[in-house]
């Protein structure tokens, strides 16, 4: 009797492709996608064979889910209830467990792949690690831990984490990896973030050593930060008031393009939050709560020439005020 093949867990590249496919599917199914949206989707689709495979699998799955709504971003799908859970579970067949639905709408629904620690949308989670170090996960984040006799290693799969390292009697190094590189803690407090665009480290106390590939690396001192990715390490910049503000429950914008702020706020709420292109470059300043994103949006509407347009609770657009 032939042995039953063992299914392999999805890779990071596959999960990223699923996440992007889900976002595009939600966008193109919304009924408000523009010609520019379709052109950008076409570029994404043609960028790799993996993107094409994920898109085709997703379409095959959705075609076989009974009662699938025409618009995946509708209130029926995004609201709590049996229909939503049915869709999420049906889409989980992609790559043997990558939960498309949970990613597509930043839902708090079950994830069918595992991480040692994870946080839900809008959640900030405090964790005490086995060595006494402290970990604070930002919204929608996942991290694995690999502690043994030689090292203390974290793998940040997605999102953002603030780490306060503890001394180690065995002298084991404390490191955190993303898909883009490695951060070695030098007795420190620092944050690391990663998404589809790259990673960044910001040092709050003492220092870290940042390395990408076979490069000799770069030492960053307290008050410094740097982005890193496939092209290497970016320029060293000084931290500003916005670095670490999320740990206290707010986002601080200082002459920040509105589009960037809306992208950041969207990570703290379920559903689809977007900024219309005509106001994306508008510079805004202020402190915006992440524990109540509706209040943050109200503050934007009262202080700047924008209006908040709600198609449903889960589909919100920031547009120019008429």
pLDDT grade for 237, boundaries at 50, 70 and 90:
very high
Q: Which CATH number applies to 117-238? A: 2.60.120.1440
> CA angle, 92 as apex, 90 and 95 as ends, to 5°?
130
pLDDT of residue 66: 37
The DSSP call for residue 188 is: E
64, 66, 70, 71 alpha-carbon torsion, rounded to 10°? -90
Query: What pLDDT digit, counting tens, does each position of 57-106 carry?
Result: 766 555 444 343 333 333 323 333 333 333 333 444 455 444 443 333 33
Q: Do domains 117-238 and 249-320 have the same CATH topology?
A: no
pLDDT of residue 60: 56
**Alpha carbon 184 to chain centroid distance?**
22
Three-state secondary-structure class, residue 320: strand
Enter the tokens of residue 255. 């002459």
Query: What pLDDT digit, counting tens, does each position of 114-146 carry?
Result: 678 999 889 999 999 999 999 999 999 999 999
List 244's β-bridge partners, or say none: none
- Cβ–Cβ < 8 Å for 78, 314: yes
Query: What pLDDT digit, counting tens, does each position of 175-193 carry?
Result: 999 999 999 999 899 999 9
- Cβ–Cβ < 8 Å for 319, 312: no
Per DSSP, the residues of 71-93 read: STTSHHHHSSSHHHHHHHHHHTT
- Cβ–Cβ < 8 Å for 231, 203: no
Q: Which CATH number applies to 249-320? A: 3.55.50.30
- Cβ–Cβ < 8 Å for 109, 92: no
β-strands 117-118, 152-164 pairing: unpaired
Q: Would you say residue 314 has pLDDT above 80?
A: yes
pLDDT of residue 10: 61
Domain boundaries, the chain: 12-104, 117-238, 249-320
Q: Would you say residue 7 has pLDDT above 50?
A: no
Among 21-35, 142-156, 175-189, 227-241, the range scoring the smallest mean pLDDT is: 21-35
pLDDT grade for 17, boundaries at 50, 70 and 90:
confident
pLDDT of residue 55: 76
Decide: pTM greater than 0.75: no
Average pLDDT over the chain, rounded to an integer: 80
Enter the tokens of residue 266. 């969207």
Q: Would you say residue 321 has pLDDT above 70?
A: yes
């Amino acid at each position: 009797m032939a042995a039953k093949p063992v299914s392999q867990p999805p890779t990071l590249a596959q999960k990223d492709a699923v996440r992007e496919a889900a976002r595009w599917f939600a966008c193109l199914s919304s009924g408000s996608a523009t010609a520019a949206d379709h052109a950008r989707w076409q570029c994404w689709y043609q960028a790799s064979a993996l993107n094409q495979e994920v898109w085709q699998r997703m379409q095959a799955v959705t075609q076989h889910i009974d009662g699938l709504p025409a618009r995946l971003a509708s209130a029926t799908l995004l609201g709590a209830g049996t229909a939503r859970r049915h869709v999420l579970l049906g889409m989980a067949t992609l790559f043997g467990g990558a939960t498309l639905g949970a990613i597509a709408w930043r839902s708090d629904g079950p994830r069918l792949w595992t991480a040692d620690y994870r946080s839900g949308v809008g959640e900030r989670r405090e964790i005490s690690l086995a060595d006494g170090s402290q970990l604070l996960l930002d919204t929608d984040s996942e991290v694995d831990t690999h502690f043994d006799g030689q090292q203390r290693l974290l793998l940040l799969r997605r999102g953002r984490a603030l780490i306060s390292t503890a001394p180690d009697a065995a002298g084991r190094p404390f490191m955190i990896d993303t898909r883009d590189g490695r951060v070695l803690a030098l007795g420190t407090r620092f944050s690391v973030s990663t998404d589809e665009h790259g990673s960044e480290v910001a040092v709050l106390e003492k220092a870290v050593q940042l390395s990408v590939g076979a490069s000799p690396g770069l030492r960053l001192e307290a008050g410094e930060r740097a982005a890193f990715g496939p092209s290497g390490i970016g320029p060293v910049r000084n931290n500003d008031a916005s670095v670490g503000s999320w740990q206290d429950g707010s986002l601080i914008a200082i002459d920040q393009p509105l589009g960037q702020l809306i992208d950041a706020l969207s990570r703290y709420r379920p559903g689809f939050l977007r900024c219309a292109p005509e106001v994306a470059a508008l510079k805004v300043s202020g402190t915006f709560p992440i524990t109540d994103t509706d209040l943050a949006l109200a503050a934007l509407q009262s202080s700047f020439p924008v209006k908040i347009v709600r198609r449903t609770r889960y589909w919100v657009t920031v547009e120019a005020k008429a």
